[in-house]
Amino acid sequence: MQSRPAPPPTPPTRARSSAESSEMADLELIWRPLQIGATTVKHRIMVAPHGQAYGENHAPGDRMIAYFAERARGGAALVGVEATSASRHLSGAQPGGATSGWRLTAYQQRTIPAYARLAEAVHAHDCRIFVQLSTGGVNDVGRAWTDNWHPVRGPSRVPSPIMNETPVALTGADIAELTGDYGQSAANLHEAGIDGVEIHAAHGYLGMQFISPAFNKRSDAYGGSVANRCRFSIEAAEAIRRRVGDAMTVGLRLSFDEFIGDAGVTPELAEECLDVLAASGLFDYFSISCGSWYSLHRTVPPMGSVPEAFLVPYAKRAKAVVGDRAKVFVAGRVLDLATAERVIADGAADMVAMVRAHLADPFLVTKTKQGRQREIVRCAGMNECMAAPAKGRQVTCVVNPAAGRERDWGEGTLRPAAEPRRITVVGGGPAGMRAAGVAVKRGHEVTLIERSPRLGGHLDLLRRLPTRGNWQIVVDDLAAALERNGVEVRLSETATASSLAAASPDAVVCATGSTWDRTGFSAARPDRATMPGAGCDHVLDVATATLAALEDPRALGAKVLILDDTGTYLPLGLAELLGEGRVEVEVLSRFPVIGELVAGTQDLPWLLPRLAKLDVRLSPNHFIESIDGHRVEVYETLTRRPRPLEDVDSVVLAMMRSPQDALFRELSDAGAVPTHCIGDAVAPRSVAEAIYEGEKLGRAL
């Protein structure tokens, strides 16, 4: 196999895509107002409902209000609030935040003032707001609330593939009470000034459970025929209309494909459902999405997995079914307004939802209107926004650390420095670039020194792996901000204590990153400081091995063993790279799941099948005892059963990373200049944390 060519140096400016290079004159249809039932929106770009876990005591709080106000201020015409519990019986609690007050509810009248504050904040910017009404059904958590344990309920006795709690089948009386709660929730929201409500019949929630053959095994009026499967959603809409009439917009979100074949929702079934739902005359719009808990990786796909605007073909089919009976919305990796314009022009949808794009840059609409497309911070699909809730954390964004922190870091909060100073940033990784970019905007004179010929730090390696090219977007956008704001960038230069002393800056920021440990130490083996044999020439750290494999996939030999003690993407990306070069690869991990930290980003369901096709062997619950030449003693961690491997050409260790903090310590000890340390140079962590610390320090300097 041919070696991969070395990438060119990072360009000084961000190259425009064909979409970005479109002149404002080419964007015409998206600026047209649209009437959606009782609601008029000023243009066709919206933020669809999505989870943030920002609720406080089950209602919108200050963090959530600031978040949505920022997107409204940035130019969105319509914002949608996340799946909000419409009934006390089926809360829709999710893993990670189930016992907190993050989960929104709308059925309680006590929440009306909070929703009123949210509506007022959004309306202040000529933006409209809908709330998505939902019940979890079998995706509820029966023990979410300590004082209210209960069995979960669903259409049939079919458990969720994720929650795995055996449900009770809903009775007719249960359903009547549930749909009545939808009406009460809508009435509460209407009183609060919310413009519309959306019934959630997508992504595996209760409305979809009634539609999906995977969950609905009923033989009564709510199962069997397509009309019966749609009955729950129709009765919920009828209950809403009885309470609010035509004063609110009423819509429904539908998964067009569950991606489990005829066992679930197929595009053909979705078309039949849409026809039934549209014929009811109850719905002002249908929002087209995809997936369920069986296929969440397709609902919010990570970088390198699907093309942009991947749901548009489904929306076009939906539009053909619905006709002029209702409006059609579409989401699905629409990343710029030129693409949205093409969607509208093609007649595929009436509104285009851009969720992750607005997480990354709330002002993308305004910037586009003003011809400032180059300033838009682009979503690269890292899916930290998906991984955070799975870990019980509130949502934020890798490239936009202000997401969720708008009260402190939102638009207009960056204050000029009281005394502009000369600042030198050492290190051109994400932490250093962010710190430099923020500091210069406050009026400081900033120089950034990077010892390599390219910016990016750790990202320069990640972006060269299969399917990881979008990391270059992150580097390019950070680099563009440096150039746009006048940071002096000096590449291929090594900063030393003496060279910095000679330059005499007013402050130094050390963002010098980290290096991969080669001793083989692991917290799983506190009995030893090093791994026996780790010093052999054919034992490499994962970064060194990846660089070699990028030049020639067979540079590491015909048989390679990778020990992943991190659960991160890099060792698995290296395995894929080697597998493409027809190298025999085995990946070991002491964890019960290979790539544990990658699961939340939804990368694993895409990556693992690719590795399987390349015959990469994955061995969880395994570790290395010792390396003796080309013989490696491997053992199974649960039983300590040995498994010796022979003729291993290279052993790759993805273990701890160590901070490169020597320069920081030397400067700090000298005390001649105020010195700060951020990112991996403090403690090796995620890219999101590095950029966050760059933002935080840049604001404080």
Provide φ and ψ at 422, rounded to 5°.
-95, 120
The candidate with the shortest Cα–Cα distance to 439, out of 359, 511, 512, is 511
Residues counted in the chain: 701
> Which two three-digit tokens encode residue 682?
């403090």
Mean model confidence pLDDT for the chain: 94
Q: Which CATH architecture has domain 24-409?
A: Alpha-Beta Barrel (3.20)
229-256 confidence digits (pLDDT tens): 999 999 999 999 999 999 999 999 999 9
For residues 669 and 412, the answer to whether their CB atoms sit within 8 Å is no
Higher pLDDT, 223 or 98: 223
| pLDDT exceeds cutoff 60 at 92 | no
154-183 confidence digits (pLDDT tens): 999 999 998 889 999 999 999 999 999 999
Run of H or E including 516: strand 514-516
As a whole number of Å, the CA-based R_g of the chain is: 27
In this structure, the strands spanning 422-426 and 507-510 are: parallel
pLDDT for 19? 46
| pLDDT exceeds cutoff 50 at 202 | yes
497-515 confidence digits (pLDDT tens): 999 999 999 999 999 999 9
pLDDT for 389? 79
Higher pLDDT, 392 or 344: 344
Q: Domain limits of the chain?
A: 24-409, 422-513+662-700, 539-658
d(CA 165, CA 150): 11
In this structure, the strands spanning 45-50 and 78-85 are: parallel
The candidate with the shortest Cα–Cα distance to 367, out of 123, 127, 13, 74, is 74
| pLDDT exceeds cutoff 60 at 17 | no
d(CA 276, CA 521): 62
Q: Which band of pLDDT confidence, cut at 50, 70 and 90, is reported for residue 682? A: very high
Strand residues in 290-334 grouped as ranges (E): 327-330
Which CATH number applies to 422-513+662-700: 3.30.2290.10, 3.10.450.50, 3.40.50.720, 3.40.50.300? 3.40.50.720
CA 567 to chain centroid, in Å, comes to 18
> What is the percent of the chain with per-residue pLDDT over 90, rounded to a whole number?
89
Number of neighbours of residue 683 by Cβ within 10 angstroms: 13
For residues 20 and 336, the answer to whether their CB atoms sit within 8 Å is yes
d(CA 127, CA 121): 9
Q: Is 638 exposed, middle or buried (0-12, 13-18, 19+ CB in 10 A)?
A: exposed
The candidate with the shortest Cα–Cα distance to 485, out of 408, 425, 525, is 425
Give the lowest-confidence range in 20-29, 47-56, 173-182, 378-387: 20-29
Taking residues 502-531, report their average pLDDT.
97
| pLDDT exceeds cutoff 70 at 2 | no
316-340 confidence digits (pLDDT tens): 999 999 999 999 999 999 999 999 9
Active site residue 205: yes
618-643 confidence digits (pLDDT tens): 999 999 999 999 999 999 999 999 99
DSSP class per residue in 450-504: -SSSSS-THHHHHTTSTT-TTHHHHHHHHHHHHHHTT-EEE-S----HHHHHHH-
pLDDT for 15? 46
pLDDT for 151? 87
> Which two three-digit tokens encode residue 392?
């019980």
Residue of 54, 67, 115, 205 marked catalytic: 205
Q: Which CATH architecture has domain 539-658?
A: 3-Layer(bba) Sandwich (3.50)
d(CA 701, CA 487): 15
d(CA 372, CA 192): 36
Q: List, edge to edge, every strand of the sheet that includes 622-628.
A: 622-628, 631-636, 642-645
